[in-house]
Amino acid sequence: MNTPMRHLTLTLLSAATAGALLAGVKIVPGNMSPYSNTQVGGKLYTEPDASAYGGIRGTLTDLPSELLGVVAVQQRFTDIASRDAGEGGTAAKNARNTTKEIEIPTYLASLGSNNSFSFRGLPPGKYDLLVICDNAMYDGILLAREISTLTDADIKVITDKVGESNPFFNLKNIQRIEGVPGGYGKARLLGQDMRTLPVTLQSAEVLSHIQIRSMKIYQLEQIGTAKLGPMWTIKRTRELVRQEVGPPDTKGPIPNFFCQALQGIRVSTSVKDIGTVALKQDDPLKARQNDSTENE
């Protein structure tokens, strides 16, 4: 009499276990990965400012899969290219642009029930959000103050430069590029880098069942003269997400969609409630043309 009940119990437990294994791994920096037992992104995000009372909270809808994390990126741009001296400004100002002012503060949200999220300890400013799901990402990241005037030749050089960078990642997917070329030209791009090759741990163990995904902002500066044609160099990158992708997770680069509702959230000295945000794909060019908000 107990056998059918015992069989049913085992079946339910097996289904629950399978469901847990199929669930994506939440973005929790410093946690031990379930696949390699190593820490992932322990120092990736900016610590909340204990003296700041600003924040953002909201709820997401129309998610394509499980919510794994929400990242807030502070809108911050350099005034000029990061040269030691030049027409763009004084040497002291240029020095600031190459150090602290070029950094991009990035914060990780606390996740709640029903796809809610919240940030606290955010200094005053404008913030763009990046939403990470198991099989897709949505972002509202503003890459440049000005409407992009990059030519096809500029984009090709930048694409090639990114492709040659950091050989650890064997796949480089560029989501968007924005910038203005010229003598003090600057450009930024949102890229998704993947390592789909075997990964060697510090213990020399080789893992072929995992992949590494990195979502980052590339900051580039134009070098050379007009006579030499478009020449760009990568000044630095800012990693926004690093994931260790295991057997039950979505493999390879995942699609990234621009969502205007995730852009330009102004934070002052209180928590900004943005309500319910439906994730969808918008046209970034139309969003720029229709945006009448003043840039900082």
pLDDT exceeds 90 at position 80: no
pLDDT: which is higher, 212 or 32 = 212
Residue 29 has a pLDDT of 86
Q: Cβ(230)–Cβ(181) under 8 Å?
A: yes
Task: Please determine, for residue 209, whether its predicted confidence score (pLDDT) is greater than 60.
Answer: yes
The better pLDDT of the pair 88, 173 is held by 173
Give residue 198's pLDDT. 96
Domain for residue 70, yes or no? yes
- Reported confidence tier of residue 91, pLDDT bands at 50, 70, 90: low
pLDDT beyond 60 at 195: yes
pLDDT at 86: 46
Q: What is the pTM of this model?
A: 0.84
Residue among 265, 213, 259 nearest 55 (CA)? 265
Specify the 3-state DSSP secondary structure of 182.
coil
Residues 123-150 have pLDDT tens digits of 999 999 999 999 999 999 999 988 999 9
What are the b/e assignments for 67-100, b being 16+ CB within 10 Å?
A: bbbbbbbbbebbeebbbeeeebbeeeebebbbee
Instruction: Write out pLDDT tens, residues 154-171.
Output: 999 999 999 999 999 999
On the CB side of 254, CA atoms within 13 Å amount to 22
Is residue 75 within 8 Å of residue 144, measured between CB atoms? no
Written as six digits, the tokens of 201 are 């741990």
| 136 vs 255: CA distance, rounded Å | 5
Domain that holds residue 215: 25-290
With respect to residue 10, please indicate whether it lies within any of the assigned structural domains.
no
Beta-bridge partners for 89:
86
What local confidence, expressed as pLDDT, does residue 42 receive? 82
* Structure confidence at residue 79 (pLDDT): 63
Query: Does some domain include residue 16?
Result: no
Per the domain annotation, does 274 fall within a domain? yes
Within 8 A by CB and 6+ apart from 174, the residues are 159, 162, 189, 190, 191
d(CA 265, CA 148): 21
Confidence of residue 81 (pLDDT cuts 50, 70, 90): low
pLDDT band with cut points at 50, 70 and 90 for residue 3? very low
Average of per-residue pLDDT across 239-257: 94
Q: Hey, how many other C-beta atoms are within 10 angstroms of the C-beta on 262?
A: 26
- Encoded tokens for 105: 């503060």
More confident site: 18 or 66: 66
Flag whether 2 is in a domain. Answer: no
Tokens found for residue 93: 């100002």
- Asked whether residue 241 is domain-assigned, the answer is yes
CA 153 → CA 158, 181, 229, distances in Å? 9, 11, 8
Question: Are 148 and 177 spatial neighbours (Cβ–Cβ below 8 Å)?
Answer: yes
What is the structure's pLDDT at 41? 83
Bridge partners of 60, per DSSP, are 277
The helix or strand, by DSSP H or E, that contains position 164, with its residue range, turns out to be: helix 152-164
Q: What is the pLDDT of residues 39-71, one digit of tens each?
A: 888 889 999 999 999 999 999 999 999 999 999
β-pair type (137-139, 256-258): parallel
How far apart are the C-alpha atoms of 291 and 260, rounded to whole Å?
10
Q: Which residues contact 182 (CB under 8 A, 6 or more apart)?
A: 222
Q: Residue 142: its pLDDT value, please?
A: 95
Please tell me the distance from the alpha carbon of residue 211 to that of residue 199, in angstroms, as a whole number: 8
> Nearest to residue 23, comparing CAs of 68, 81, 54?
68
The DSSP bridge partners found for residue 188 are: 178, 219
Q: Is residue 1 in a domain?
A: no
| Average pLDDT of span 173-185 | 91
Over the chain, what is the mean pLDDT?
85
The number of distinct structural domains making up the chain is 1
Q: 13 lies in a domain?
A: no
